[in-house]
Amino acid sequence: MSEFHAPVDDIVFSLRHVARADRLADWDDELAAEIIAHFAAFAEGRIAPLDAAGDQQGCRLVDGRVRMPDGFGEVYGELAEQGWQGLSAPEEHGGQGLNGAVRAGVSEIFTAANHSLQMVTSLVPGAVSVLMHFGTEEQKAAWIPPLAEGRWLSTMALTEPGAGSDLSVIRTRAAKDGDTWRIDGEKIFISGGDQDMSEGIFHLVLARSGPTEAGVKGLSLFACLSDLPDGTRNPISVTRIEEKLGLHASPTCQLAFDGAIGHLVGEEGGGLKAMFAMMNHARIDVALQGVAHAARAADLARRYAAERQQGRDATGQPVTIDRHADVARMIDTCDALAIGGRALCHLTLVAEALGDAHDFVEFMTPLCKYFCTDAGTCAADLAIQVMGGYGYLREYGAEQNWRDARICAIYEGTNGIHARTTATRSLKMNGGAGIAAFAGFLRDSGAAFEALAEGWVEEAQRVAASNDPAVEAHAFMETTCDLAYRAAWARVAAAADAAPDADRLKRLAGLVETGAL
């Protein structure tokens, strides 16, 4: 397995100079860079070495409980002890209170080092966010500290057999039982549904508390703890672990809730609203997973091509394959996709943290998820192509990078669903506020985007007014993503002089601008 090298300089540059995180009231430039670099060292030294071994060993179901691959529990213990699980949790509840921009840098590095382990641990910030927005003061005090300390990990239990994207047909039932509820039903595709790394698991479960005919309005959100106060197990069992293309060290579980004790989070009937708060966080995190795979692909391809000799130059001297135009194009494409996708995510996250651009954030979140996850798979595929037959071998890491990247375009809403939602809902939200927000982003990216913004607005309004916008959803999303990517690169180019590797960024920016990449 090729060694992992965290793209610390690229991440810090993007946060500082492209997304302008210095506009955040709690931004400390020096501290942010130090934290990201410190985590990178931990990821390179401790987390990444488990990636290939964990992929080969996978997870096991033993006596109804999940067993993680060798070494995962030990490294997770170090992760929790160092405070990484509570990085952005509020200080009053045992966290470090850092902003989402810093967490984004850490999350990307974590994914590239070991996506499986990141997947099992990554839902904690979203769970904390749900509790902060919808939980009672008693719930916050009881549940956030063990999440922040790493004693608990979290899950998001939505999907059921026959109820994937259509949550209105969820069948899992919640019945009132005194001060608590009893949950009965089955959930599938639950990442980290069980594991043996943390003391407990905090399940956030979407269940039907109202009549079936109420549709999504009859859904409520419940917290189901894996262990009850008396030390017994809550009746939540793992019926199987899915056998997947990738993420072999991340247990994707089918769970049975057999009268499990649950606690209402938020209002009865308000489950979808509360759950979407967690899902929106997860979608940006998944977008960053795509970025991580693209950056990993660029690094794998670049390092391999710089050493692999094939062919000769005009003087007859042997050359490495990175000197061949087509190979150089593929490496540059991987690099550019990672940098541009990262910029889009960081711009969206900083806008969200500033709190004054709600319409922009709402429009950009599905766009980031769509573009960056496609970019991750594309770059991972190109890295295999650069490496040829060796890329197809397990020992070089490129094939695992592709397998692990592939899920990103599927979970947290398939990319097709996000395209359809953008065309059918986002263009119409708040009287076209999403259209105005995205057009403003284009215009603010440079004079070259003025005419492009006008043309895009006309197209967006036409699609929104059509009889069936869903028919045009894919083509429209592709056009929108292309413009967003180019606008992000225009901002990267404008700030390139501040980067440690300015010449590389300027060269790539020129290739993106001319359409060579």
Q: Kindly list the catalytic residues.
A: 412
Give φ, ψ of 113 to 5 degrees: -75, -40
Burial (CB count <10 Å: 0-12, 13-18, 19+), residue 57? middle
**Which residues have CB under 8 Å from 339's CB, separation 6+?**
10, 14, 489, 492, 505, 508
Who's near 478: CB < 8 A, 6+ residues apart? Answer: none
Three-state DSSP state, 376 = helix
CB distance 76 to 199 below 8 Å: no
Report which DSSP code applies to 163.
B
Q: In which region does residue 466 sit, left (phi positive, over 0), alpha (psi from -120 to 50) or beta (all else)? A: beta
Q: Give one DSSP letter per residue of 203-219, joined into a string.
A: EEEEEE-S-GGGGGGGE
The H-assigned helical ranges of 5-136 are 8-13, 29-42, 51-57, 72-81, 100-113, 115-121, 124-134
Burial 479-493 (b: 16+ CB within 10 A, else e): bbbebbbbbbbbbbb
Instruction: Give the separation between CA 112 and CA 108, rounded to whole angstroms.
Output: 6
Could you report how far apart the first and last alpha carbons of the chain are, in Å? 29
Owner of token pair 């030390």: 231
**186 phi and psi angles, rounded to 5 deg:** -130, 135
Copy the structure tokens of residue 80: 């929790």
3-state secondary structure of 186: strand
Q: For residue 34, which of 91, 106, 129, 119 has the smallest C-alpha distance?
A: 106
Q: Which residues pair with 233 in a beta bridge?
A: 227
